[in-house]
């Protein structure tokens, strides 16, 4: 079997076009969705990420503000900026790029963002909303994975999903989203004694570890759907995922490539969340 690709670039293009259309409708009603991206320090990878996020906003017609601060910025000053953005009516989403310099408590900063503008979905209120099935923003990467499953018409009901990784930003929210769609979910981590025994039972596997070749062909049930969240470098310094793509594509029914899979979906879902935040703000205004 050679798996079909789930093309994150193509799906992103489609979703971003919809965001652009809906943004234009909001603008016609007098409201432009706005995203503020805050970068502290000069981490090179973070600089690329924030540039891409701002560009994606501009391309879809959203208003975006990039605030760049020196690595010496104090935690108090950053908290003050977040408070100002919370009160800024032109801003519907606030994203503080992680990691922050070591002298700043990242969790404290995330908790300072208004849950109504937490388009990254990292606030504890957003995590609680996801856990209890209440309205709130879903973290963009696992949300993007769910959109990828939706794009192939995959019905999770009665299926066994195995998530490898249990971080707060990918693994755990991924598991909750799959559970919400009635999958039976297993979460694996570095303490899982026999990963292969788990993954061989899976109809859907999400690899979110950050290590090459965590998932190889012998660990995959024929016909399984494999989503690769990992971002690593191979021996030639090229971007690769957690999955041995060449081997696993011969066993799986669907697979996401790296690059061009989950990666572009993350920014796309950030746009989707920001648009949704603006739509909620408008609706609140209209009903006030
Ligand atoms: P993380 O916080 O480092 O979490 C990694 C998880 O993998 C941990 O739960 C860890 O277990 C588990 N793990 C480590 N070794 C393992 C092993 N041998 N077998 C099973 N589980 C193992 O990483 P993250 O933030 O979730 O990110 C994961 C990967 O996704 C990274 O490569 C990251 O760059 C990538 N990522 C991509 C996007 C995107 O847009 N495509 C977005 C976010 C992240 P313990 O909890 O026991 O330590």
Q: What is the pLDDT of residues 60-72, one digit of tens each?
A: 999 999 999 999 9
Confidence of residue 237 (pLDDT cuts 50, 70, 90): very high
Question: Among this protein's residues, is 181 annotated catalytic?
Answer: no
Q: Would the CB of 19 count as within 6 Å of ligand 1?
A: no
Distance 118 CA to ligand 1 centre (A): 22
Share of the chain above pLDDT 70, in %: 100
- Which residue CA neighbors atom 16 of ligand 1 most closely? 190
Euclidean distance between the first and final Cα of the chain, in Å? 57
pLDDT of residue 288: 86
Specify the domain boundaries for CATH 3.40.50.720 within the chain. Answer: 140-263
pLDDT at 277: 98
Pull the structure tokens for residue 107. 């969790």
Q: Is it the case that residue 162 has pLDDT exceeding 90?
A: yes
What spacing in Å lies between the alpha carbon of 208 and ligand 1's midpoint? 5
Q: Dihedral sign, CA of 103, 108, 112, 114? A: positive
Q: Please state the rounded mean pLDDT for residues 147-159.
A: 98
* Radius of gyration, alpha carbons of the chain: 19
Residue nearest to atom 17 of ligand 1 (CA): 190
Check if 88 is active-site: no
Q: How far apart are CA 282 and CA 274, in angstroms?
A: 12
Query: Which ligand 1 atom sits closest to the C-alpha of 189?
Result: 21
Say whether 108 is catalytic: no
Q: Which overall architecture, per CATH, does domain 140-263 show? A: 3-Layer(aba) Sandwich (3.40)
Any atom of ligand 1 within 6 Å of the Cβ of 189: yes
Q: Looking at the predicted structure, is the pLDDT value of residue 1 above 80?
A: no
CATH number of 30-114: 3.40.50.10860
Residue 251's pLDDT band, with cuts at 50, 70 and 90, is: very high
Q: From CA 198, how far away is CA 175, in angstroms rounded?
A: 15
The residues of the chain that CATH labels 3.40.50.10860 are: 30-114
- Of residues 156, 193, 205, the one with CA closest to residue 178: 156
Average pLDDT, the chain: 97
């Amino acid at each position: 079997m050679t798996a079909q690709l789930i093309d994150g670039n193509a799906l992103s293009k489609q979703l971003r076009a919809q965001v652009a259309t809906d943004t234009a409708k909001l603008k016609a009603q007098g409201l432009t969705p706005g995203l503020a991206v805050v970068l502290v320090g000069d981490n090179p990878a973070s600089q690329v990420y924030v540039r891409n996020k701002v560009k994606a906003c501009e391309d879809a017609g959203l208003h975006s503000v990039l605030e760049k601060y020196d690595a010496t910025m104090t935690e108090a000053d950053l908290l003050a900026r977040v408070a100002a953005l919370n009160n800024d009516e032109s801003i519907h989403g606030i994203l503080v790029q992680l990691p922050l310099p070591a002298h700043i408590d990242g969790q404290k900063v995330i908790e300072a963002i208004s849950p109504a503008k937490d388009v990254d979905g990292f606030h504890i209120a957003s995590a609680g909303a996801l856990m209890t099935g209440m309205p709130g923003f879903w973290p963009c990467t696992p949300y993007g994975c769910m959109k990828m499953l939706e794009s192939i018409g995959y019905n999770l009901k009665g299926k066994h999903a195995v998530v490898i990784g249990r971080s707060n930003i990918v693994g755990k929210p991924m598991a909750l989203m799959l559970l919400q769609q009635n999958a039976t979910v297993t979460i694996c981590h570095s303490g899982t004694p026999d990963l292969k025994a788990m993954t061989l039972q899976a109809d859907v596997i999400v690899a979110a570890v950050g290590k090459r070749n965590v998932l190889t062909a012998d660990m995959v049930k024929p016909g399984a759907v494999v989503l690769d969240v990992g971002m690593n470098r191979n021996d030639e310094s090229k971007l690769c995922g957690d999955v041995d793509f060449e081997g696993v594509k011969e066993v799986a029914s669907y697979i996401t490539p790296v690059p061009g899979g989950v990666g572009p979906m993350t920014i796309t879902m950030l746009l989707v969340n920001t648009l949704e935040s603006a739509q909620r703000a408008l609706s609140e205004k209209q009903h006030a």
